[in-house]
Amino acid sequence: MKKVLPILLCVATAYFAKAQSVGIGTTTPNGSSILDLSSSSRGFLPPRMATSQRLAITNPVAGLMVYDTTTDTYWFFENGKWNELVSSNKLALQIPTNRIDPGGDAGDNFGFSVSLGGTGSSGYVGAPMLSNGGTGACYRISYTDNNLWTISSVNPAGLAAGDAYGYAVSMDRVNGSTDGIISAPFDDSSTVTSMGSVYFFNSVSFLNKMYAPAGSRITGALFGLSVDMSSKTSSDKGYAIVGAPGANSNRGAAFIYQFNPNTNVWDFEATLTDINGAAGDSMGTAVSLYYDVTGDTAWAFVGSPYDDENSVTDIGSVIVFRKAAGSAVWTRVAKLVPSQAADMHFGASISNVMRCGQVLIGAPFRNGSIGQVYAASLTALGGSTATFAVAALPGMSGGSAGNGSPGIGYRVSAMAESTISCDIYALAGSFSGLIASNSGASFGVAGLYKFSNGSWSFVEKLTDPEVETTGYGFGRAVSLHTGQKVMTIGAPNQTIEGMANRGKVQFRKLQF
């Protein structure tokens, strides 16, 4: 009888628990729950694990939840994939919207380049098709509502295999229209291999196609490997810049174009070169432009990431040019070089907010391809000389490591919070050069930075919530627009619907 009684008690307890709610810390559990936990001093703690461990769970059931110690967020499994839960008070609300080319194919590399220009409600996404014939394509993206974006093609006639149309893109407001520039740096026009070309558009139609000036139309010039455009207002004035790192025996060059409101086309204005450049510097790998319409002054920043400045191999540099008010002459006013080690490739990416005297520069191979982002701050301007203080931004948190591919700073985009503020946000991408902390995966990451009260700070590390899918390249392209409070991150090597390197773009909203 002594043995039977405990068994009967267990059966009775189990029956009672099955019939009613079970309470821990309360004698009156809620009747709608099977388990009611109550405490004023302790909380519920779910399983905690790294991203790699979460992704290794076999056949997760819908509704399964864990706390990911890599991302420091909760994740739940639903509709065949893991979904992240992030507090809405985070600066980068990590509830992304993904967009793909609906008619895309393997090897399209959709998301290889992105630009949110003008008002930020429209932009470009390039798909150069590097492993799919290389003809290339480009798409206009337009904001609708609730972080949703429509996609339409912007492809002129006459494109040929190997052109890589869409390799670089830029957009801004000119003459009341959202104008844009799209490059085809491997264009073999006039039978000159990889001479390169660029196409100008407005909001409605194609405007004109441009090649480098006659003396620079050489084999391998790669005219259009980088592009940028600046107007900042709806006036009829604007400038564009095109990089050609293969020009001048790979010394490189950049070319300035000015919008002509009388003909509604873009006219060549100036060639920018490094008078002290050497073969192999690849000046023009990255470019950035700022035009102050009110003062009719302009700045051009041109990266030479393979420059052996100060006898340091491939440390890299950025050449700074300035156009004075009322002039058509672009004068070299500075050369920016960091005080770091070899093989940094400083100048591989550039973005500026010169209204606030700030230039963001990427060095994606610094420290074993972990990468680094630098800020060059204008400290003085007199005559034909500008002085900048170059300093590294705070490093990305999370213990990431390089894997040999370009790290953080491979691409960078920066913009002030408003036209009257000098609180600046900068978004930097890595193109899978970083291995996410504890995960062992190198799908790429992006980093968000902020400039406020005279100093830069690291804000957040952004990873793709869908890293369990195959493919790489998250961060190969980045663009940020504070007016729409949106960030766009390209992942051109992402496998989509079983198609390798089909690619995608991801939109995330900023919260400020």
pLDDT at 464: 82
Question: What secondary structure, in 3-state letters, does 168-198 show?
Answer: CEEEEEECCEEEEEEEECCCCHHHCCCCEEE
Task: Give the C-alpha separation, 299 to 354, whole Å.
Answer: 8
Sign of CA dihedral 213, 217, 221, 223: positive
pLDDT at 403: 66
What residue ranges of the chain are covered by domains with CATH 2.130.10.130?
A: 92-510
Task: Give the C-alpha separation, 128 to 492, whole Å.
Answer: 10
Q: Does an H or E element contain 303, and which?
A: strand 297-304
Nearest to 437, CA basis, from 31, 52, 44: 52
pLDDT at 423: 95
Q: Are 289 and 355 in contact (CB under 8 A)?
A: no
Task: Give the C-alpha separation, 320 to 39, whole Å.
Answer: 62
pLDDT at 510: 83
pTM for the structure as a whole: 0.82
Q: Are 401 and 370 in contact (CB under 8 A)?
A: yes
Question: What secondary structure, in 3-state letters, does 41-105 show?
Answer: CCCCCCCEECHHHHHCCCCCCCCCEEEECCCCEEEEEECCEEEEECCCCCCEEEEEEEECCCCCC
pLDDT at 466: 67
Residue 499 in tokens: 């198609």
Nearest to 335, CA basis, from 367, 303, 288, 369: 303
Q: Are 481 and 507 in contact (CB under 8 A)?
A: no
pLDDT at 401: 58
pLDDT at 174: 78
pLDDT at 2: 47
- Strand pairing partners for 57? none
Residue 477 in tokens: 């392209």
Tens of pLDDT, residues 406-436: 889 999 999 999 888 899 999 999 876 655 5
Residue 123 in tokens: 């932009």
Thinking of the domain 92-510, which architecture would CATH place it in?
7 Propeller (2.130)
In the three-class reduction of DSSP (H, G, I as helix; E, B as strand; rest coil), residue 113 is classed as strand
Residue keyed to tokens 């949110």: 116
- Which residues of the chain are under the pLDDT cut of 70? 1-19, 71, 86-95, 120, 146-147, 176, 190, 232-235, 397-404, 432-442, 466-471
Task: Give the C-alpha separation, 307 to 227, whole Å.
Answer: 20
What single-letter DSSP state applies at residue 5? H
Residue 414 in tokens: 């920066």
